[in-house]
Structure 1
Amino acid sequence: MTFAAPPPSAPGPTGTEAAAPGSATVPTGIRTATVTRPRPRPPAGQPKPGKAPARRGRLGALDGLRLIAALMVACYHYGGRGGDISRAWDASPAQLFPALHSLFAYGCLGVQIFFVISGFVICMSGWGRTARSFLASRVSRLMPAYWVAILLVTLVFALPSVAWDATSPSDTLLNLTLLQEPLGAPRVLGVDWTLWVEIRFYALFAVCLVLPGVTRRRVVLFCVAWTLAAAIGQASGGTTAELVLMPEYAPYFIGGMGLYLLHRNRHDAMAWGIVVVSWLTGQHYAVADLWHTDSPKFFSYRSGWAIMLVVTAGFVLVGAIALGYLGWANRLRLTTLGALTYPFYLVHEHLGWVSVGTLHRSLGLPPGATLAASLAGMLLLAWLLNRYVERWATPLLRDRLLTVRA
């Protein structure tokens, strides 16, 4: 207990002076007794006093990395594989891009980088949210651009001048639910298999973390439990276990969540362990899935070392952003470019076939010019979708979901 005399020239109404925050003043005649109270302890799982609070500002560098991953996938779809894109080119991309084809073949690993980013972002955005708020944010973020992309691709494929077959009206309507993957129906968008993976991650995160309340301790337990359960599910070979636990994709989401814990506290030893184990298992699954030396169908020309390098680069770049080493990139105003990533990712593949076929076969543009023009056209379309669909539909849908009453 300390004592201090009030200033004689400015007495308060009760003869007391203002106390410092965290203390109480007790009138004692001429003098004032100041009682210092202990600071309240933070709830479990929250940063302790004296440590920097969690940084929740928009990370522009993450937006830039997200767009780079989307462009990697697009280059893979346009020049790093065969199938329908060979039909659009009327030739094999390996013949058209002899120097770049092998490099473009690694662009499919942009999906793994997406999943690491998703683990980071979902852990950050889900912290402190209710289940209803989390659900509203995810649905409003995914569905408006997705619905428009489904209708747009269906309409374009229905044109007489377009050589690709559209899905049936029934299958198109089912695709609007994003349940075509588990129900085995034809897909309107080839990339929507990754959205089905994301939805299962959101469901796990919501049930195991958002409902009880996200804390550091629960995130750590969830990451450890999911890692072990995914390994057991892989070993058991059970279809249901693999469907729920997603062993081949879990390491990327878990690694991203561990990186967010490091974003909150870079000295978190458990978070470092989660990230390292996730990287080790993630690179294993990537090599096992994408490197097959016995069949050209599975890209035997890809190097296992190169696959490991790309996966490692994804973890390292997200980690550098998490730890603040790429803070300078946050000043480059990459948020606008990052906003184009999702709509670009949705429309680039199938509409890219139409663009490539029109520009290269019909108009006679060289392969390099066709590739550049198709990428630019898809980015322009993504800007239009973001500007005239997402900017008003996303907040509108989110508000409606949050204000709905039982």
Structure 2
Amino acid sequence: MAAFLVVMTHAGSILGEPRYYAQEPLGGWLRGFRVGVDFFFVVSGFIIAYIHWNDLGNPGRLRSYMASRFSRVYPPYWIILIPLFLLYLAFPNAGQPSQRDPLNFVFSVLLMPFPVHPVLGVAWTLVHEMFFYSVFALLIVTQFSPKRVLLGWALVIIVLNLSFSPLAFPLSIFFNPFNLEFIVGVGSAVWLMRHRAPAPLCMAVAGLATFAGFLFFGQYVLETPLLARTVFGLSTVVSIIGFVELDRQGRVQVPAWLQLLGAASYSMYLVHGIAQSATLLALFKSGWGSLPMLVAVPLLAAVSVLAGVLYHLLVEQRIIRIARRALA
């Protein structure tokens, strides 16, 4: 769901480029679907804590933690990034100057913070992801209280963003409101390790309904970063707690095709921009560039999903297995 929302956002924005339709579908309404990223960050915080919470304060667990995170994130990403950078070098009119900057490429390869967007635009979320993983790694190798560290971090994020928004780089990475969503994701995992959620179906539905309600009708919320991260982060937490409890009770039956889409979500996220660009380029080169907007949007969405599933089956799964064997 989170990946597909982002797919729809970028389908709308690329159609609005002057070289294509020069106007966004539905009056730019699809821009709001970018909040799929919020769902993604909360889920990331939840999963890391649910799997690795008992590793905190145990330096001997650092190697397996880092190997797991590295193999999951970097190899599938590099296979997209490196050819894309070479393409930008070969065709100077493609992309932005920053996407041909060798220094930006190095920081993009490492997924380290840099003042401009990475070469692969969507990787900005992975920069935040790797920063959060680094904080979690610090908690593994030290004896700091994870609760105090995370609560203190959350408090500083809130105070700084209420007082000095927008923050300048690199504070915009370290204290970005998106980090609050990792933290509440961790909190939901810790809570679920110790408690059973009451009325889980109601929680799951209420969380998703709140998320959808603010997505469709909360324009003010969408344009206010700290408020948006709070609203979408907390509604995601409520839905996660509900669904996890339903799963623990054996009340969730996920169809195989939906499991496949979930497994392919990272691949879909990585390749959808390239898939959409290639599709539109092919349409306009072949004389099909006059498709109605309401046909072009679902076409781009379908191509993105298909490309993501194929990349997952043919590349991502294999490269992750190779990386994990190499790091074992």
TM (norm. structure 1) is: 0.62
Equivalent residue runs for 1:3-402 within 5 Å: 68-79=1-12, 81=13, 85-93=16-24, 96-98=25-27, 101-102=28-29, 104-129=30-55, 130-154=61-85, 164=95, 167-168=99-100, 170=102, 173-174=105-106, 175-179=108-112, 181-182=113-114, 184=115, 187-208=118-139, 210-212=140-142, 218-234=145-161, 242=171, 245-266=174-195, 290-291=222-223, 310-324=232-246, 328-333=251-256, 334-359=258-283, 362-364=287-289, 365-402=291-328
Relative to structure 2, which stretch is displaced further, 377-386 or 114-123?
377-386
Report the CA distance between 1:92 and its aligned residue.
0.6
Q: Which amino acid aligns with 1:170?
A: P
Q: What is the rounded CA distance, in whole Å, between the counterparts of 2:228 and 2:52 in structure 1?
A: 34
Change in Cα spacing, 1:330 to 1:262, as seen in structure 2 (3 Å) is farther
Q: Which amino acid aligns with 2:155?
A: L
Q: Which amino acid aligns with 2:36?
A: G
CA shift digits 1:84-130 (9 cap, x unpaired): 8423533211xx435xx42x222111111111111101111223441
User: What are the ranges of 5 or more consecutive residues in structure 1 without an aligned counterpart?
Assistant: 1-67, 269-278, 293-297, 299-303
Matched residues, number: 298
Q: 1:117, 1:256 within 8 Å by CA — same for their partners in 2?
A: yes
Q: Which amino acid aligns with 1:291?
A: E
Report the CA distance between 1:199 and its aligned residue.
0.9
Change in Cα spacing, 1:254 to 1:111, as seen in structure 2 (3 Å) is same
Q: What is the rounded CA distance, in whole Å, between the counterparts of 1:132 and 1:349 in structure 2?
A: 33
CA shift digits 1:167-204 (9 cap, x unpaired): 3373574232223x42x466321111111111111111
Task: Return the structure number with greater helix share.
Answer: 2
CA shift digits 1:310-352 (9 cap, x unpaired): 5554233222123337954443233321121111111212442
Q: Which amino acid aligns with 1:373?
A: L
- 2:58 counterpart residue number: none
Structure of higher CA gyration radius: 1
**What secondary structure, in the 3-state scheme, does the structure 1 residue paired with 2:121 have?**
coil
What is the aligned-residue identity percentage? 24
**What secondary structure, in the 3-state scheme, does the structure 2 residue paired with 1:92 have?**
coil
Q: What is the rounded CA distance, in whole Å, between the counterparts of 1:107 and 1:146 in structure 2?
A: 23
User: What are the ranges of 5 or more consecutive residues in structure 2 without an aligned counterpart?
Assistant: 56-60, 198-209
**What secondary structure, in the 3-state scheme, does the structure 2 residue paired with 1:207 have?**
helix
Q: 2:184, 2:233 within 8 Å by CA — same for their partners in 1?
A: no
Q: Which amino acid aligns with 1:363?
A: W
Q: What is the rounded CA distance, in whole Å, between the counterparts of 2:147 and 2:219 in structure 1?
A: 27
TM (norm. structure 2) is: 0.75
Q: Which amino acid aligns with 2:135?
A: L
